[in-house]
Amino acid sequence: MKRTPFMGIRWKWLCVQLLAAVLVMSASAVAITALFGLPIPFLLLAHPPILAGAAVLITAAGTVPGYVYGGRMKRKLEQLADAVYHYERGYFTHRIPGNMTLENDEIGVLSAHLNTMAERIELQVESLQRLASEKSELGERLKAAAVLEERQRIARDLHDAVSQQLFAITMMTSALAESVDLNADKSRKRLSAVQSLAEEAQKEMRALLLQLRPAVLQRATLKEGFEELLQQYAEKHDVSIQSEIEDLHGIAGGVADHLVRILQESLSNAAKHSQAASITVKLFLSGGQIHLKITDDGIGFDKARVQASTYGLRIIRERAVEIGGVADIVSVPGAGTQVHVLVPCSDREQEGERSS
């Protein structure tokens, strides 16, 4: 916006003063005629020089102070306009001169308030910038911490499962090489054990790769993301997949991402531990809540013997809590496991689902 200078305020003030002087002079003439009973034409003809001089003096007495005062007022308003112009463009370090703020009139009070406002906004801007920098630094630290934690988890999983299995394979193959000519039956048993260990190690590696695979929500909907993840899982594991996935609309991106991660972790746990022949996945909206159910027919586990803080179970519960939901994990030895996640659905999400 272009600044508009106060070009006419002095002249407007001068015109007002001039008009006031004319009115005073006219009122004086009327008063004289009324008091002395003389007509106005007689006054104009009797002493014209005196009357003209009086008119000039009266006019000057009104207009000169008006001109001076109007100019002073114009300069004050220009200072205020210049300050507002700077604040409009974000220059909050600009200040109105102190001599104006000390004057005991409306413009002085307004000037002081504008300076105070600019100081407070300047402090707020500095605070916002500092918070933004701290947020950025915190985000980088959190990202680095998350990467480190994930590396430690992968290293722990590799050490606890794959590394030990590979070490056992190495020891058994060494013993097999020594006994292959001496005892064929014993060698065949050891060879079968090596094969089983290799298969277990392969399962562990597949489960880890499934966890490391990037999120599949590159597609348009949550349903398509689920279907792609299930298809990838079925291609790499000898298991039957049944799914009933509703096409939920209006789900927040963060909620959708957490649901995919929960499904990903559940499938990874099933690949490592369940020995399931089939897995059923359901995603639907009911009673104002999003329901995600993952059920397998594997060997299950005894909750009394398996700690609730086991990493796979803990991360499922934590992800559910992060989106305001809960995760109910039920397992019966010999009968399989079910993970049931319930997440509250906002009014906007329910409206989006109804409109679809």
pLDDT along the chain (356 residues), means of 10: 50 67 69 64 59 65 67 81 80 79 74 86 76 73 78 67 67 68 71 75 68 52 86 84 88 80 88 86 88 92 66 82 86 90 69 53
Q: Hey, how many other C-beta atoms are within 10 angstroms of the C-beta on 42?
A: 11
DSSP state of 243: E
Which residues are 241's β-sheet partners?
279
- What is the model's pLDDT at position 351? 56
Residue 353's nearest CA partner among 245, 262, 246, 220 is 246
Q: Hey, how many other C-beta atoms are within 10 angstroms of the C-beta on 94?
A: 16
Q: How far is CA 266 from CA 223, 229, 231, in A?
A: 17, 12, 15
Q: How far is CA 33 from CA 52, 150, 296, 356, in A?
A: 17, 105, 116, 91
**CB neighbour class for 171 (10 Å; exposed up to 12, middle 13-18, buried from 19):** exposed
Residue corresponding to tokens 């002085």 = 108
Instruction: Show the tokens assigned to 252.
Output: 């927040």
Report domain 219-356's class.
alpha beta
Distance between alpha carbon 11 and the CA centroid of its chain, in Å? 54
- What is the model's pLDDT at position 156? 67
- The reported pTM is 0.46
Taking CA 166 as the corner, what is the angle to CA 210 and CA 162, rounded to the nearest 5 degrees? 30
Residue 320's nearest CA partner among 273, 261, 279 is 261
C-alpha 17/C-alpha 107 separation (Å) is: 21
Sequence spans of domains, the chain: 9-123, 219-356
Residues 6+ apart with CB under 8 A from 329: 313, 316, 317, 337, 338, 339, 340
Complete DSSP assignment for 28-55 = HHHHHHHHH---HHHHHHH-HHHHHHHH
Phi first, then psi: give them for residue 329, nearest 5 degrees: -115, 120
Phi first, then psi: give them for residue 328, nearest 5 degrees: -105, 115
Which residues are 280's β-sheet partners?
242, 295
C-alpha 299/C-alpha 278 separation (Å) is: 12
Residue 278's nearest CA partner among 238, 246, 244, 313 is 238
Instruction: Show the tokens assigned to 136.
Output: 């950025």
C-alpha 75/C-alpha 63 separation (Å) is: 18
HSE, CB side, 13 Å, CA atoms: give it for residue 326: 3
Distance between alpha carbon 345 and the CA centroid of its chain, in Å? 20
- What is the model's pLDDT at position 246? 92
**What kind and span of H or E run contains 294?**
strand 289-296
Residue corresponding to tokens 């009327």 = 30
- Torsion 249-253-254-260 (CA) sign: positive
Phi first, then psi: give them for residue 41, nearest 5 degrees: -60, -35
C-alpha 227/C-alpha 245 separation (Å) is: 8
CB 91 within 8 A of CB 77: no
